Structure 1
């Protein structure tokens, strides 16, 4: 129960439209897309300005009041899940593109802006917003940056961090750090912008960002390719990087591809494939595919002859009906050194099926940047079996020198596995930084660290 004087103070800061309690709170405030949240927060706050957010955090800092940040709630690591005594803070009311500089190729955008809206604004200016996710219609810029979400275009435009030139951030004590730098080169001390990206709201709250924009490609060509196996995918990727302006290089192992075809009501290849790749480039693909056929890397290929064809290929890759078809699925998000990926997938599948014979383990992902998604599903398995399957995946990632989180952060759900990817010394330094910037540990408590 919040102190009435504190509630009155928050209402004075935010006004009646910026604070909700009890049954008036949005139902989504309970959990992110992992659906693991169990408690509604004590209140839901929606500041409409940076000054309002700063004032809220000053008040929370003085009372040691925990705060959990909530963006579009598309994350899968439980990072936006709060507790009954937490305040949930949303920047949905602080949204919009403030400026686009077509000469410099930059956008100044507010954190509550939905990713799709930022993409559309860039496209209207004849430019490309470089970050793209399947959840583009819901994910907000602040959450994307806070989790360092990567997405579908990293192979073309680089990581999210590499496309952020400057940030405005409100610290736990309400101080505003504004370094909305529009320059590509800026060597003026510690990279606080880079530090905040991927910090999952534990060090400060991102409010504005300067994002680097890219020229709109004259054309984009898409193909779906059937390969004999994952071993052929890596030399094909090397050849694609060497000869194409590669925009996407997505992989679907047979278990995932065949189920996705079924759910999307499509039949794309006559014969089963060892692995299916979706390749997109900013130039015609026919010469490249012909050489790949001659080299025995590709067994079959479909070229998109229209935007509708390309959309069908992407529909299979994204497989939006999957969550409803496999209720209770667990979607793990890891990355590995490229040469280790075929062995990782085959080894994980074998060990998971040995441990849980009725389980489904589906593999797909952004092969171009080494990011693999693993979908685990077993309707007969209890929490112990799910944990055992997760352990198989994460232990394999650790043994192969990979990362237990490629895109969604650590949140609350992956804390147990973080030491598989970061050393004790690194974790100690992270805790020191957290202590320095948030001494009362009010920002996203329980995220990253227990």
Structure 2
């Protein structure tokens, strides 16, 4: 627990507005998407300089600091019980948009939706798109290397970041606000911090790569009768659209039923009764030509039997309704005791994986269910087992053993885009080799020898005797 002396030093550095304690700090921990705990204090720096001052003070005291973005993480990566939470909510400015160079310089607390809207106003696009766009911050996106709905075309967050400013554990500021697409002068240090979940440094600013705003958008919703037809349809659309395919979102039947039935707000785009549903979208440069190509590709898929039914959005309202179904994870969360998993594996292994997980869950918990949806094109599935007698720790461990055990057999990843945090920490070595984990530990010890940055996340603590060997 932070001492009164430490809190006094932090208030002297950041001002009373920059340090919340007591009930004010407790209230800040409310509303997180996963457990945040009760921090000893919440820091609210207004600049990189203030972040540096705060970390210098905490480093000298050996006090743990947990960075907070929009608090939308799902793996307890922001859990700050008894530690100092560092919120970047006041560092939320867009500093510059270079329309000619296609870059945007932003502070880490800037909300993703704000970034996207600012880019759009300049005739450009920041391609990252995910359900939490209205709350998630750029710093949080960077810390977890967020994926989202357009990875199939634009890649992960790391593919959209050109430069970073990072404050290290001891308060050292590393400024590398590079605006160049090509820069092979030495090590690309930013990549070390992207996806490190705030354990190696605190991202304070970033240079983002923007793309031209698409002049066309075509969205369709289809029904598919067998899993084998899903990758066939995916490859067909990739070939037919010539690189314009930007989203290929698959919903298993149980998920689709839940988000299109009362009390959910959504209604079926296509009737229930099909094993799989796909939301497919393309972005291009010529609406008339692109729409004709999109419709022709969909018609060919119908004629060849890859899909059994299809609806093409004819308005923005219809397009929004389709995406609302895909984004309605909240309906699943509020329906019954459940757990969420974010996994990655080869497309060829998905059908057997889901089948084995479903059977194993049913064998252990009669009446359990399994909701599945995901970004099939990049191998990422969101697996949601539910209808358990309770959602306690023992039940969770049993479910994890099944979900991750079947994944391990197929050499998949326990984290496709949500990170490791505390929740997935016991399973890190199920997806990474001993040599990889050892190198991660070496980086952590080198950059954060006192282990103050997001302590305990990603890597399990090493006993003192073993650490000294």
Aligned-pair distance for 1:324?
5.3
Aligned to 2:277: 276
Q: Is the 8 A contact 1:29 1:88 kept in 2?
A: no
Q: Take 2:352 and 2:303, find their aligned partners in 1: how far apart are those partners?
A: 26
Aligned to 1:195: 192
TM-score, scaled relative to structure 1: 0.97
Aligned-pair distance for 1:327?
4.9
Partner of 1:264: helix, strand, or coil? Answer: coil
Alignment of 1:31-70 (within 5 A): 32-34=32-34, 36-37=35-36, 39-70=37-68
Q: Is the 8 A contact 1:110 1:209 kept in 2?
A: yes
Alignment of 1:70-81 (within 5 A): 70-81=68-79
Aligned to 1:377: 386
**TM-align CA RMSD:** 1.4
Instruction: Show CA shifts across 1:393-416 (max 9, x none).
Output: 111222112110011100000011
Q: Is the 8 A contact 2:166 2:201 kept in 1?
A: yes
- 5+ residue gaps in structure 1? none
- Pair 1:399-2:399 in alignment: no
Q: Take 2:27 and 2:339, find their aligned partners in 1: how far apart are those partners?
A: 22
Aligned-pair distance for 1:379?
4.3
Q: Take 2:352 and 2:265, find their aligned partners in 1: how far apart are those partners?
A: 29
Q: Is the 8 A contact 1:32 1:78 kept in 2?
A: no
Q: Is the 8 A contact 1:30 1:81 kept in 2?
A: no
Alignment of 1:290-329 (within 5 A): 290-323=299-332, 325-329=334-338
Q: Note closer, same or farther for the CA distance 1:409–1:186 as it changes in structure 2 (3 Å cut).
A: same
Partner of 2:323: helix, strand, or coil? Answer: helix
Partner of 1:446: helix, strand, or coil? Answer: coil
Q: Which piece of structure 1 moves more, 315-324 or 354-363? A: 315-324
- Pair 1:387-2:397 in alignment: yes
Aligned to 2:14: 14
Q: Take 1:83 and 1:346, find their aligned partners in 2: how far apart are those partners?
A: 38
Instruction: Show CA shifts across 1:341-371 (max 9, x none).
Output: 2222222112211221222210001111111
Aligned to 2:433: 423
- 5+ residue gaps in structure 2? 284-289, 461-469
- Pair 1:333-2:330 in alignment: no
Aligned to 1:248: 247
Within the candidate set 438, 446, 450, 2:456 is matched to 446
Q: Take 2:422 and 2:395, find their aligned partners in 1: how far apart are those partners?
A: 19
Instruction: Show CA shifts across 1:328-350 (max 9, x none).
Output: 43111011112112222222112
TM-score, scaled relative to structure 2: 0.93
